[in-house]
Amino acid sequence: MELDHLSFGFCLFLIVSSSILCDSNAFVPADNYLIDCGSSTNTTVDSRIFLADLSISWTLSTPKTILASTTENSVSSLYQTARIFTGTSSYSFPIQKQGRHFIRLYFFPFRYQSYDLTSATFTVSTQDFMLLTNFQAPNSSNAVFKEYSINITAATLTITFTPLGQSSLAFINAIEVLSVPDDLIGDFSQTLNPKGTYDGLSKAVLETIYRINMGGIKVFPSQDTLWRTWLSDRSFLKSENLAKFVNFSGAINYLPGGATRETAPDIVYSTATELQEPSTVVRPLFNLTWEFNVDKSSFMIRLHFCDIVSKAIGNLYFNVFVNGFLAVSNLDLSTLTVNTLAAPYYVDFVAAVTDDSSKIRVSIGPSTLDNVLPDGILNALEIMKMNTTSASLDGEAFSITDNQSKKKLGIILGSAFGVFFLVLLAVVLCMVLRRKEKKIKKDKSKSWLPLSNYRSSLLSSTSKLSNETTAASGQNGLGLQFPFAVLQEATNNFDENQVIGVGGFGKVYKGVLKNDTKVAVKRGNSKSQQGINEFHTEIELLSRLRHRHLVSLIGYCDENNEMILIYEYMEEGTLKSHLYGSGLPPLSWKQRLDICIGSAKGLHYLHTGSAKAIIHRDVKSANILLDENLMAKVADFGLSKTGPDLDQTHVSTAVKGSFGYLDPEYFRRQQLTEKSDVYSFGVVLLEVLCARPVIDPSRPREMVNLAEWAMKCLNKGQLEQIIDPHLAETIKSDSIKKFVETAGKCLADYGIDRPTMGDVLWSLEYAMQLQEAMPSTLELDSLHRISQLSPRVNALNNDLLEASPNAGRNDLSDLSMSSVFSQLLKSEGR
């Protein structure tokens, strides 16, 4: 057993270290033609050698050889020579590796003998695509640089120059043709209006129009992994005084499955432009906008993000707009980058510019979430013109809809969102790695393993088995399907000794997969319709929702009419077992607060993390699980219901839930809102405070129901009657006061009087601040005091004071659940 751990760990170590080695290797293009046209000598630019084109004249066919040069010194040496064509001429490059290539063309018109290159008008095309139509280099002292990105599927690339007009001249100063990594441009992109996906990018011919490094200085080809140029964003910013330029000196954490150094290099991700921090308590309700002039056409817009500004995860949420459309709502980089700071992330949009103003505007703006500081960043931006016909880049904009791709949803989920799901899988991976690392006592630095390896090691049986299982299938399509045999083996054929819990749904077994990953296997026993419904609800919800404070679904099995769900194993069991009845050592006040905060975050995410709020319906201490670090995760979504539509106020439903936690209003009116969860969570808070069961029939009548009894005591100011005696020593009175007050508000009779989960979360975090504050500060007006401790809290305070929990909020109803992002959309049921 121990040996297994060691060898598994060692394998991980090998894979991780080899992948680190790969990262440090610079990308070497399979095809790499660099030609200094018209030159008789090689030219070295940015430590790359552009060959004299005489030495590769075998690639060229032209009626007449004219090599031109200028004495103009103000331009790069590449521009000082040119080859002039008086008739149709072409370069032919054998292609070693099919796939995407950059084609870069350098033009600088000068006068050479009787040839005036400023008068040259010509076309440039590949064998099947027109790159430049009627091109004439502007008569100024500026050079013209063009970069195209083309998926070359032929064995030879032919670039043809065709002179037009009276002068009948064409020319070129330098050419680059180089391979780029296959994954640089995926096949799928999002659309903005309507929201959806666009597929077909892998065939598109792209022309780079803008490549911008936000918050930064210009990045030169020598500093880029693919010899690209990134311009500074300053001249594109609409109001520079709203912006703050950030420069980060730490390491950029490229994650497997995400952006790579070829997507954009460290130097690009290390700078960002940030929303200017609020100077005072006034919440800055402005967007920061960059504006780019473009032709009427269709464009691929790639936004690069990397959270180099936060000190801790989960603090940065912001909105992103492209041309006035909400592109990403409440972008939460922490979640998208597996809770890693300074990890790059990018997202592509396809948009058509059809109006005559012909501008692309990209904005970042403050989040609409509660208790989130107005902030936002952008690290880099690329705007590429897309071909709108199959022959040329000069067509009109085409209308971009997601109709074509709807039927391919399965594939899209599998591939376009691949990065996203890989990232999700990485959450699980990360936990496994952490555990393994501890065991082999490696250093604490984060290590990663390619996800494909992880995925198969998760199933590590025979290859036949993994073949069967890696294809995620079924109507849910998202979860990982496990063969029944693998689960039988993992749980020792569902041995009763492995049972770690029993619920309405069935028994929960502890299981160990072949690779020593511990899992919790929940096996449904009833074939009732309710059971089946709950099974599907849970798979569907959990596959869609990922959050560090929600228990992750690893997979499921529905072979032979089985209904089995496989979850991450939570080492420390339920919160309930740590509060009473199991003889475990009592938790400290800080631990309890941490657990409450964690579970509040999980519930807050459920309520606000998708377009439609999700109501848990069975919030209780037995459904809050703790991992080995006592981090809380909310579990058991079997009863969950999607919340009210934005235009409805509640969901009517039969009363379900657990006795003692049940919202009396829900009971009375059978109408479900998120506030029912808030009520139940209030009961959990009391449970945490008092460390006793919510219903305890062994007690005197008035004490049986915890919620009733505790509220009675609290209203009489008799806190000492109910508080867990273990807490008395460690607890600070202001902290407990805030905590008790919060619990009381949660238990308000009417949902409308209860705070939202976001408000509860804030109050609990505040209680934590009070607990950790220096003793002397507590004697003064605590709210005032604390507000001076941290500007962040200060701003939050003001938010809380200004906005009553029920104040109207911006509802953004044009969002769809299918979007990849955690759309932490507020959709309060009221």
Q: Can you give the binding site for ligand NAG, defined by CB under 6 A?
A: 41-42, 49, 51-52, 55, 99-100, 118-119, 128-129, 139, 151, 153, 182, 202-205, 216-217, 247, 249, 271, 285-287, 321, 324, 363, 365, 387-390, 398
The Cα 68–Cα 73 span in angstroms is 15
The Cα 788–Cα 270 span in angstroms is 31
Nearer to ligand NAG by Cβ, of 145 and 398: the residue is 398
Nearest approach in angstroms of CB 368 to ligand NAG is 9
The Cα 731–Cα 788 span in angstroms is 22
- DSSP string computed for 607-667: HHSSSS-EE-S---GGGEEE-TT--EEE---TT-EE---TT-S-EE----S-TTT--HHHH
E strand or H helix at 351? strand 344-353
Nearer to ligand NAG by Cβ, of 1 and 28: the residue is 28
495 is catalytic: no
The Cα 154–Cα 425 span in angstroms is 36
Nearest approach in angstroms of CB 142 to ligand NAG is 12
- Sign of the CA dihedral with 655 first, then 658, 664, and 666 last: negative
Q: Which of 618, 636, 734, 759 is catalytic?
A: 618
Nearer to ligand NAG by Cβ, of 145 and 325: the residue is 325
Q: Which of 174, 180, 175, 176 is nearest to 226 (CA)?
A: 180
Q: Is the preceding omega at residue 664 within 30 degrees of 0, hence cis?
A: no
Nearer to ligand NAG by Cβ, of 205 and 764: the residue is 205
Residue 405 C-beta-side C-alpha neighbours within 13 Å: 22
Nearer to ligand NAG by Cβ, of 388 and 676: the residue is 388
List Cα–Cα distances, 741 to 149, 469, 558, 607, 686, in angstroms.
Answer: 60, 50, 46, 22, 11
Nearest approach in angstroms of CB 119 to ligand NAG is 4
- In sequence order, what are the residues at sequence separation of 6 or more whose Cβ sits closer than 8 angstroms to the Cβ of residue 335? 546, 547, 548, 822
3-state secondary structure of 212: strand
Q: Which of 602, 748, 630, 605 is nearest to 682 (CA)?
A: 748
Asked if 602 and 640 count as a contact pair (C-beta separation under 8 A), the reply is no
Asked if 299 and 351 count as a contact pair (C-beta separation under 8 A), the reply is yes
The residue nearest ligand NAG at its CB is 202
Nearest approach in angstroms of CB 164 to ligand NAG is 14
Q: Which of 260, 255, 105 is nearest to 182 (CA)?
A: 260
Q: Which of 462, 214, 206 is nearest to 350 (CA)?
A: 206
Nearest approach in angstroms of CB 254 to ligand NAG is 19
Nearer to ligand NAG by Cβ, of 417 and 567: the residue is 417
Residue type, 721: Q
* Structure tokens, 351: 């948009």
Nearer to ligand NAG by Cβ, of 83 and 607: the residue is 83
The Cα 169–Cα 167 span in angstroms is 5
- Sign of the CA dihedral with 816 first, then 822, 826, and 830 last: positive
Nearest approach in angstroms of CB 365 to ligand NAG is 4
Nearest approach in angstroms of CB 311 to ligand NAG is 19
Which residues face 567 on adjacent strands? 520, 553
Nearer to ligand NAG by Cβ, of 52 and 587: the residue is 52
Q: Is 522 annotated as a binding residue?
A: yes
3-state secondary structure of 298: strand
Asked if 634 and 538 count as a contact pair (C-beta separation under 8 A), the reply is no
- Sign of the CA dihedral with 254 first, then 605, 614, and 595 last: positive
Nearer to ligand NAG by Cβ, of 49 and 502: the residue is 49
Nearer to ligand NAG by Cβ, of 385 and 592: the residue is 385
3-state secondary structure of 764: helix
- In sequence order, what are the residues at sequence separation of 6 or more whose Cβ sits closer than 8 angstroms to the Cβ of residue 375? 274, 275, 277, 309, 315, 316, 317, 318, 366, 367
Nearest approach in angstroms of CB 125 to ligand NAG is 11
Nearest approach in angstroms of CB 202 to ligand NAG is 3
- In sequence order, what are the residues at sequence separation of 6 or more whose Cβ sits closer than 8 angstroms to the Cβ of residue 309? 246, 248, 272, 274, 316, 375, 377
E strand or H helix at 672? strand 671-672
Residue 326 has φ and ψ, to the nearest 5°, of -70, 110
Nearest approach in angstroms of CB 176 to ligand NAG is 15
Binding-site annotation: residue ranges: 522
Binding-site annotation: residue ranges for ATP: 522
Active-site annotation, residues: 618
